Amino acid sequence: MHNKRVSFFEATARTRVSTLVDSGSFTEFCPPSKRFTSPHLARLDAPVAFDDGVVVGSARLDGQPVFIVAQEGKFNGGAVGEVHGAKIRGLLDRAAVEKPVAVLLLVDSGGVRLHEANAGLIAISEIMRALMATQAAGVPVFALVGGSCGAFGGMGIVTRLCDEVIMSEEGRLGLSGPEVIETVKGVGEFDSRDRSLVWRVTGGKVRRALGEATQLVDDDVAAFREGAIAAMSPVQRSANDLATLKQQHATLVQRREKHAHTVDGIEVWRQAGFAHPEGVAMLSASAFNEQLNTSVAEVKS
């Protein structure tokens, strides 16, 4: 489709959408010409965007119908305001009715848009509820995380609700962002200016080693596309019932015990069985996946 590599990290939300799905297949809902802009930002005398920082619509992926959401991390850090959130929630509601093969959520967000306070918080909770209703209707939701803002705050939780989490090393996933942790707990707890440390603790490779991300791909829109296509093939997903939830909680308790003294991603990679954990940051996605699969196989055998 595209011969030239398109960096997911560098691309705008619109470029990510147009290069990820089948060429020319995207139809936007609530397009910028409708001017659904944020009334809160206008009241605060702050600049607005015609799409309120999120692109939503339907498309085809490998010939199959999908719905897609792409947050624009460059507009207010991809943060979720009332209109932005309503667009995502509305798309998920529609997916539960129209039942596309999957919903792709291109997350690039620091969480709630602070300018919009309660309206933003409510929007996040509406997205969570709608996402689970969509899953309950039989439509899987995939998170694709590889933008500069990562997936933090409420959007970090939304990401973890998804059936698949596809990340690049550049993508980050967490609840409180590094700056927030440093502000609250001090620089001794977490130095947010140590970029290498930030990525070793929140980046795609550590999330994949912990099993939170289900796929690690290179920073290339085509690689994210392949990952999403692979995720669409029918698989038996674990049921969203109480027994599964209890089992997941038990796994988290075990993980907490296992990593009680872990302060760096290097320890996670060592425990995951990487022979040279210090060198993991330099591995390509394919080399990383190969070594991860080998070590998992060794543990099992």
Partner 1 sequence: MERFEITLPSLHVSALQQSALCGVVSSGNLEVMIEANSTPESCHFEVNTSADGFQDIWRAVLADFSERHKVGGLNISINDAGATPAVVSLRLTQAYEESQEGSDA
Nearer to partner 1, 36 or 75 (CB): 75
Residue 286 dihedral angles phi and psi, to the nearest 5°: -70, -40
Strand order in the sheet with 102-107: 27-29, 54-61, 64-71, 102-107, 141-145, 164-168, 215-217
Nearer to partner 1, 25 or 262 (CB): 25
Instruction: Retrieve residue 218's tokens.
Output: 């290179």
- Cβ at position 191, least distance to partner 1 in Å: 25
- Largest pairwise CA distance in the chain: 62
Tokens 């719905």 belong to 67
Distances (CA, A) of 60 to 12, 33, 98, 228: 20, 23, 14, 12
Nearer to partner 1, 71 or 214 (CB): 71
Helix then strand then coil, in percent of the chain rounded to 5, is 50, 15, 35
Secondary element (H or E) of residue 164: strand 164-168
Radius of gyration of the chain (CA): 19
- Cβ at position 23, least distance to partner 1 in Å: 6
DSSP 39-63: HHHHHTT----TTTTEEEEEEEETT
- Cβ at position 74, least distance to partner 1 in Å: 4
Nearer to partner 1, 32 or 65 (CB): 32
Distance CA 51, CA 89 (A): 15
- Cβ at position 97, least distance to partner 1 in Å: 27
Task: Give the contacts of 184 (CB within 8 A, at least 6 positions apart).
Answer: 176
Nearer to partner 1, 14 or 160 (CB): 14
- Cβ at position 136, least distance to partner 1 in Å: 33
Nearer to partner 1, 19 or 134 (CB): 19
Q: Are 84 and 54 in contact (CB under 8 A)?
A: yes
- Cβ at position 177, least distance to partner 1 in Å: 18
Instruction: Retrieve residue 220's tokens.
Output: 């290339």
Instruction: Retrieve residue 56's tokens.
Output: 């939503």
Binding site for partner 1 (CB under 8 A): 12, 14, 18-19, 23-24, 26, 32-33, 45-51, 72, 74-75
- Cβ at position 168, least distance to partner 1 in Å: 20
Nearer to partner 1, 51 or 220 (CB): 51
